[in-house]
């Protein structure tokens, strides 16, 4: 599995006197099993880049291909299904459903995939144990710490067995100890299960763990290095 971006461009307010080019003709290939940090200051376009990789936002021009499927050419219904089955998302604000327990949040995407109730429960419980929340499965997000909520978000992202996980500033609201624990967890998932992780970040703690660092400024890749 590879993610291939070809001349990817996103322009906001295109039909006005003040268009904003968030991503400008970016071409990249990210291979299976990689652990990548896309770093850059706020407003550099890195979140827009991840959103287009994940099919949340459509490009103005160019293409995103995942495992040789051009997702930019998919109809909305097909794109939703592809995204559900192939891409995991971890957001800065956790984005958990507040009325659902930790277990129910993790089960939700699997239910949308059509899995049985017993299979959803089994896998959700397995993942929550793996992220160290076996004693908080029946707890709603408001009663979890920020680090615990982000661990639920990691379990939820992994639940549908995605080909890769996009993490947008996942450590921004976390303290140092929680951040290191979360990064340890995601590194284990990457190394043991071969899941590709792509982070949008300006956190040096994330950048230090990445095997590949892509520096993004003003909508352009200014550096792409292995470390």
Query: pLDDT tens digit string along 33-61?
Result: 999 999 998 889 999 999 999 999 999 99
Question: Is position 157 within any domain?
Answer: no
What CATH number has the domain bearing residue 40? 3.40.50.300
Mean pLDDT within 76-82: 94
Question: Is position 42 within any domain?
Answer: yes
Question: Is position 146 within any domain?
Answer: no
Q: How confident is the model at residue 63 (pLDDT cuts 50, 70, 90)?
A: very high
Q: How confident is the model at residue 79 (pLDDT cuts 50, 70, 90)?
A: very high
Question: Is position 12 within any domain?
Answer: yes
- First and final CA of the chain: distance in angstroms? 22
SS3 209: helix
DSSP structure string for 83-145: HHHHEEEE-TT----TTS-HHHHHHHHHHHHT--HHHHHHHHHHHHHHTT-TT-TT--GGGS-
Angstrom distances, CA of residue 91 to CA of 31, 148, 173: 22, 14, 11
What does the angle CA 220 – CA 49 – CA 188 come to, to the nearest 5 degrees? 115
Identify the bridge partners of residue 69 per DSSP, sorted by sequence position.
66
Q: How confident is the model at residue 173 (pLDDT cuts 50, 70, 90)?
A: confident
Question: Is position 26 within any domain?
Answer: yes
Look up the domain containing 83 and give its range: 2-99+163-226
Question: Is position 126 within any domain?
Answer: no
Mean pLDDT within 179-203: 91
Question: Is position 48 within any domain?
Answer: yes
pLDDT at residue 1, rounded to an integer: 67
Residue 219 has pLDDT above 80, yes or no: yes
In tens, the pLDDT along 118-143 reads: 999 999 999 999 888 999 999 999 99
Question: Is position 50 within any domain?
Answer: yes
**Model's pTM, two decimal places?**
0.90
What does the angle CA 214 – CA 188 – CA 115 come to, to the nearest 5 degrees? 100
Q: Which residues contact 219 (CB under 8 A, 6 or more apart)?
A: 21, 22, 23, 24, 26, 44, 45
Number of domains in the chain: 1
Residue 118 phi/psi, 5° resolution? -70, -40
């Amino acid at each position: 599995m590879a993610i291939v971006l070809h001349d990817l461009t996103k322009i906001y307010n295109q039909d006005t006197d003040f268009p904003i080019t968030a991503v400008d003709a970016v071409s990249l290939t990210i291979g299976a099993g990689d652990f990548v940090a896309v770093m850059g200051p706020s407003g550099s376009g890195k979140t827009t880049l991840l959103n287009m990789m994940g099919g949340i936002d459509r490009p103005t021009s160019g293409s995103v291909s995942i495992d040789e499927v051009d997702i930019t050419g998919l109809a909305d219904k097909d794109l939703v299904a592809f995204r559900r089955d192939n891409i995991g998302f971890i957001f800065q604000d956790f984005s958990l459903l507040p009325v659902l327990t930790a277990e129910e949040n993790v089960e939700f995407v699997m239910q949308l995939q059509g899995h049985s109730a017993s299979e959803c429960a089994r896998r959700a419980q397995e993942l929550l144990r793996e992220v160290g929340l076996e004693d908080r499965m029946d707890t709603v997000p408001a009663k979890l710490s920020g680090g615990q909520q982000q661990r639920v978000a990691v379990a939820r992202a992994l639940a549908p067995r995605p080909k890769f996980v996009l993490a947008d500033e996942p450590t921004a609201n976390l303290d140092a100890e929680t951040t290191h624990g979360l990064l340890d967890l995601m590194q284990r998932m990457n190394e043991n299960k071969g899941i590709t992780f792509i982070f949008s970040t300006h956190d040096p703690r994330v950048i230090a763990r990445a095997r590949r660092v892509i520096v993004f400024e003003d909508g352009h890749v200014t550096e792409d290095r292995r470390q």
